[in-house]
Amino acid sequence: MSVNYGSKRVVVGAHYGLRDWLAQRITAGLMALFTLLVLVQLAWGSGPIGYDKWAGIFSSQWMKALTFAIIVAMAYHVWVGVRDIWMDYIKPVGVRLGLQIFTMVWLVSCTGWAIQVLWRL
Amino acid sequence: MTETAPKRPEFRNINALTDLPTYRLPPAGWVSILHRVSGALMFLLLPFIIWMFDTSVSSEISFAKFKFAFNVGLGFVPGWFMKLVALALIWAYLHHLIAGIRHLYMDVQHAVSKEFGRSSALVTLGLSIALTLVLGAKLFGLY
């Protein structure tokens, strides 16, 4: 067996085990159900889909709260997925760390923007 | 010790440019790599997605700007290019969603047979491309 502890430890940055695997599936399920919910509300009633109908979907407080939860779920889902890509293809630890930091900043920034849009409505 | 079989060739350190294009992937392999590609695409275009959410939902005026961006253009970017990017996102979302549902179904049903892997992969590829074409035709005003 090769040594994989102490200073010889292979740096991967993953949380081994069930947690991320399960989180990836739960957040995916939530986003799929949310997609369905938005589509149902879009299809509700007749007439062309204009601004009033589209913005109306996100204007109620419960929908804002739910959309907020979905945005957070998406950010976590994307973090796990993109981190896996870096872990698979980027071997130099410094470059990988840099890309992971970029991913975090990118995701937190986008999440903040999306939430601002939501509560400005 | 006697030599029982000729030494099998061993390939390491594959070159992404010269080796990968010659690899022939089974349908499930295509679904897998495209799941990754579509996810990466949506990750990189996340600011554009939120920009679409922002302009479409914020006010009547921004909604008009949103429509203008796709019908005419935004700055130096022509409308057809905006639509093309949106179409890429539509495909990415559909493929990621359907391939994800396939994943969840396989987890729940323990559907790990080779046949199901192949047939469900073909359904995933076919359905995502077909829906993309239908929605793309609508996006570009073909019906």
The domains located in chain B, with CATH, are: 27-139 (1.20.1300.10)
Residue listed under structure tokens 């509560």: A119
The whole-number pLDDT of residue B3 equals: 61
Q: Is A49 within a domain?
A: yes
φ, ψ dihedrals at B95, nearest 5°: -65, -45
Largest Cα span, chain B: 82
Å between B13 CA and nearest CA of chain A = 12
B99 contact partners, CB below 8 Å, separation of at least 6:
B31, B32, B34, B35, B38, B124, B128
User: Cβ distance A68 to A118 under 8 Å?
Assistant: yes
Indicate the residue type of B132.
T
Q: Is any Cβ of chain A less than 8 angstroms from the Cβ of B19?
A: no
Is there a domain that residue A1 lies in?
no
**Secondary structure (3-state) at B33:** helix
Residue A53 maps to a domain = yes
Helices marked H in B58-78 — which ranges?
60-71
- CA-nearest residue to A112 within chain B is B50
Asked if residue A64 is part of any domain, the answer here is yes
Gap between the Cα atoms of A56 and A42, Å rounded: 10
- Tell me what ipTM this predicted complex has: 0.86
| Contact flag B39-A54 (C-beta cutoff 8 Å) | no
Question: What's the domain count of chain A?
Answer: 1
Nearest beta carbon to residue B50 from set A29, A78, A117: A117
pLDDT in tens, B84-139: 999 999 999 999 999 999 999 999 988 789 999 999 999 999 999 999 999 999 99
Residue that wins the pLDDT comparison between B16 and B127:
B127
pLDDT digits (tens, 9 = 90+) for B32-90: 999 999 999 999 999 999 999 999 999 999 999 999 999 999 999 999 999 999 999 99
Of A29, A54, A110, the CB nearest to B104: A29
Question: What CATH number is given to the structural domain containing A113?
Answer: 1.20.1300.10
Domain residues for the domain of A74 are 6-120
User: CB-CB: which of A25, A32, A58 is closest to B97?
Assistant: A32
Mean pLDDT by 10 residues, chain A (121 residues): 69 67 95 97 85 94 96 97 93 94 98 95 85
Q: Are A114 and A71 in contact, with CB atoms under 8 Å apart? A: yes
